[in-house]
Structure 1
């Protein structure tokens, strides 16, 4: 994986992507592939297929960057939707139904930041301020990739309790991100 040394604002990045600049695509991949892969793999639950879908997503981004409109939303939201839709399509192709709760919540939290590496450390610091029973659930769901069902089984907590505590924790976290 190439590590881009160039830094971009979102506007500069979009302009460079539209000009097909290699450094811009390297920057995009370096800074967003991890977040996209997490969303895709949570949906697919198969790392090999998730890697394939991630590759397809970056091809779609490259081919369709001219259709991105900053007035309709941030770049991260646009590429996250491409990844999310790719993952959903892959799950449906297997004849399964996608689970959306984790994806929608992860997208909502991640949209507050531009740099995915910063997100991880800053969010973990904020999550550390939560009550222990909420902190462990957020950590397992969003940093370790467990589903609500897996958390319920691992911690021997009813599924409804897991979901309500995660929902409460997410509401509490939103207060920290309010501008």
Structure 2
């Protein structure tokens, strides 16, 4: 065997195929969400719920909410998907991005209610959706800055977990590393993020 030959074939080709499959999946969910807005088909909603609800719960739990509360917020987010499907625009965002944004906004509202003393809002609030979008952008910017301080291997698993909503086992499969390594890297990353944000506050 020639030791100079690359192992595993053309890596770029494999990555290209993976990206195409991810795009197909994104387009598929976007098409289903668009269909839901037009048809109000409960079977379409059920498929969206089955796929996204557990991922939303895992995502919300990682944001720091207890599992029971995370499940409640995830279900509330999926009800918002049913009610607001007509507002989805596939040209502006993928279904996944839109649904996770709904969930994140609900988390912000829940945290605001639970920590009302820390959030002294003006009596005349701007439009709630505009307010949430602005707060979301601030949180996203802080998270990006914090992730930029992490070692690459920790930043990678955190990105897959936080932004793509992947489970620990999905991340392990994608990166080809043991499940324990994923959990260890996430623990270290979150520990550093807490320290990073603690220093800023």
Q: TM-score normalised to the size of structure 2?
A: 0.53
Rg (Cα) greater in structure = 2
CA contact (8 A) 1:43 1:88 kept: no
CA contact (8 A) 1:41 1:47 kept: yes
Aligned equivalents of 2:88, 2:40: Cα separation in 1: 14
Q: How far has the Cα of 1:13 moved from its partner?
A: 0.6
Deviations 1:107-144 (A, max 9, x none): 5334xxxxx6xx765532232359x9xx72x43466xx
Structure-2 change in CA distance of 1:67 and 1:126 (3 Å): same
Q: Residue 95 of structure 2 corresponds to which residue in structure 1?
A: 75
Residue 28 of structure 1, aligned match among 36, 48, 51: 48
Residue 183 of structure 2, aligned match among 135, 139, 147: 139
Aligned equivalents of 1:120, 1:74: Cα separation in 2: 23
Q: Residue 14 of structure 1 corresponds to which residue in structure 2?
A: 33
CA contact (8 A) 2:30 2:94 kept: no
4+ residue segments displaced more than 6 Å: 96-100
Structure-2 change in CA distance of 1:11 and 1:52 (3 Å): closer
Q: How far has the Cα of 1:59 moved from its partner?
A: 1.4
Q: Which runs of 5+ in 1 are unaligned?
A: 1-6, 111-115, 150-158, 164-179
Q: CA RMSD, aligned part only?
A: 3.8
Q: How far has the Cα of 1:37 moved from its partner?
A: 0.7
Q: TM-score normalised to the size of structure 1?
A: 0.58
Q: Is 1:89 matched up with 2:105?
A: no
Q: Residue 109 of structure 1 corresponds to which residue in structure 2?
A: 164
